[in-house]
Amino acid sequence: MKSKTNFDRFLEEQLRDPQFAERFKQAGAAWDVALQLAALREQAGFSQTELARKLKTTQQQISRLESPGYEGHSLSMLRRVARMLNAQVRVIFEAKEKASPRRVAEPSARYRSKRRPPKSV
């Protein structure tokens, strides 16, 4: 069995802090987006410059999107990149904790209404 490194013990200790744990989780999500974008781009055979040219943006913007520390991704830009790389964007919201089922939205409105006779003048 592999023994824990000093870093493993340090990380375990830091993860006990709820604020740190949340930031750590968010950083992991940004890392996932960056790795997926870079992998899709490379799989499609594009350099950052080539992809930027096709999207009418800059190489720096593509580099930024592929950076694990970047958190300014816009859904519209991710869709443009995905379309060019023959992929799709999926956003999934997950509950933080198991909660009792709640109704989040109101029931849909009825759009069909009865026709009223015209008002007499």
pLDDT score recorded for residue 92 = 85
> pLDDT per residue over 19-39, tens digit each?
877 777 776 777 888 889 999
100 is a domain residue: no
50 is a domain residue: yes
Q: Give the span between the Cα atoms of 53 and 86, in whole angstroms.
A: 16
118 is a domain residue: no
Q: Give the span between the Cα atoms of 76 and 53, in whole angstroms.
A: 17
Q: Which domain holds residue 18?
A: 7-84
For residue 36, give the CATH number of its domain: 1.10.260.40
Statement: the pTM of the whole predicted model exceeds 0.75: no
48 is a domain residue: yes
Averaged pLDDT for residues 40-44? 95
Largest CA distance in the chain: 91
95 is a domain residue: no
39 is a domain residue: yes
112 is a domain residue: no
Q: Give the span between the Cα atoms of 79 and 90, in whole angstroms.
A: 9
> pLDDT per residue over 61-97, tens digit each?
999 999 988 888 999 999 999 999 999 999 888 887 7
Number of domains, the chain: 1
Q: Is the pLDDT of residue 9 over 80?
A: yes
